[in-house]
Amino acid sequence: MIDTEKLFAGEPRSIARAISSVESGAAGAAELMKVVFPKTGRAMIVGITGSPGAGKSSLVDKLALLYKDRGEKVGIVCVDPSSPFSGGAILGDRIRMATIGLDKNVFIRSMATRGNMGGLSRATVDAVAILDAAGFDKVIVETVGVGQDEVEIVKTADVSVVVLVPGMGDDIQAIKAGIMEIGDVFVINKADREGALRTQKELESLLSLAHRPDFWDPPIVKTVATESKGIEDLSKAIESYNDFQKQGDASLTRKHAIARWRLLGLLQERLLAEVLNKNGTNERLNKLSLEIAKKIKDPYTAVAEILKSE
């Protein structure tokens, strides 16, 4: 059982336990989340995405430091554990400190991507909610901008930041469709490299073609994360979208869309788990898939059989 009193007081071990519980889909997780939900809505949630190696962790590191220096509590959820938090040594030290409970102001957690059938985005969004309920002022979520799950996760943030690097002209074209709708703030990191200006121009022209339903004009911030340059500007850009969103009904529209997506995701996860747990379906899965592989049976018949034998 998770001590929710300690959790809401921001006690690191209770937070860690709560996140593990939603991650593994433990029996009490749903009950826990029912208690957590009413306590959420206070934190500002910042999603950071971008291609591998763009400098997301370095940016999160510096941004978290800035927030911490302002006296705020910062929770960080990292969805790509294949690339461990490679940011600056300062927060690197905090990782250890947070886990042993010495620093209550920064909490860093990686989400396991493996063995989490369809539940990764749900678990991540739950982890963010737990940190929100635990009293963190800012919750930052880092995900690699590839894969549907990762993109969906970033969409659930209050402010979504897309990180680009100079000299990725072709990439911009390729990811254009995806990033256009996600980015509330764009960062050109590694601005110490050649081509930052050109990338900015390309991005500007792409953004000018986009039509956002809320008419927001996403700012472009240039940063050099490794030298802590532009971090203040980034924090201001994030703030400006957050303020903008609060003014109109964009916030509710967004929250409505997120809620719908979460509801469908939960339903999907629950229904699948229910079906798999019935009548030894989980065991039959192996036999049926082998039959499909050997072309003894087609997948549609197999699905129909599973649902019929329920």
Ligand X SMILES: Nc1nc2c(ncn2[C@@H]2O[C@H](COP(=O)(O)OP(=O)(O)OP(=O)(O)O)[C@@H](O)[C@H]2O)c(=O)[nH]1
Binding pattern to ligand X, positions 167-206, x when CB under 6 A?
----------------------xx-xx-------------
CB of 140 to Mg ion, least distance (A): 12
Cβ nearer to ligand X, comparing 89 with 293: 89
CB of 228 to ligand X, least distance (A): 9
How many residues sit close enough to ligand X to count as binding (CB under 6 A)?
20
Alpha carbon distances (Å) from 282 to 120, 146, 268, 276, 307: 20, 29, 16, 5, 12
Interaction of residue 58 with ligand X, rule CB under 6 A: yes
- Contacts (CB under 5 A) with Mg ion, residues 41-80: 56-57
Cβ nearer to ligand X, comparing 50 with 119: 50
DSSP secondary-structure letter at 200?
Answer: H
Alpha carbon distances (Å) from 281 to 1, 126, 267, 308: 30, 28, 19, 11
| Residue 132 near residue 45 (C-beta atoms within 8 A) | yes
The binder of 192, among Mg ion, ligand X, none, by C-beta within 5 to 8 A per type, is: ligand X
CA dihedral 5, 11, 16, 19 (to 10 degrees): 40
Pick the binder of ligand X from 24, 110, 226, 251 (CB under 6 A).
226
CB of 226 to ligand X, least distance (A): 4
Residue 100, both tokens: 């042993």
Pick the binder of ligand X from 74, 111, 225, 302 (CB under 6 A).
225
Alpha carbon distances (Å) from 188 to 38, 84, 193: 37, 22, 10
Taking the C-alpha atoms of residue 216 and residue 202, their distance in angstroms, rounded to an integer, is 18
Residues that bind ligand X (CB under 6 A): 50, 52-58, 80, 83, 86-87, 144, 189-190, 192-193, 224-226
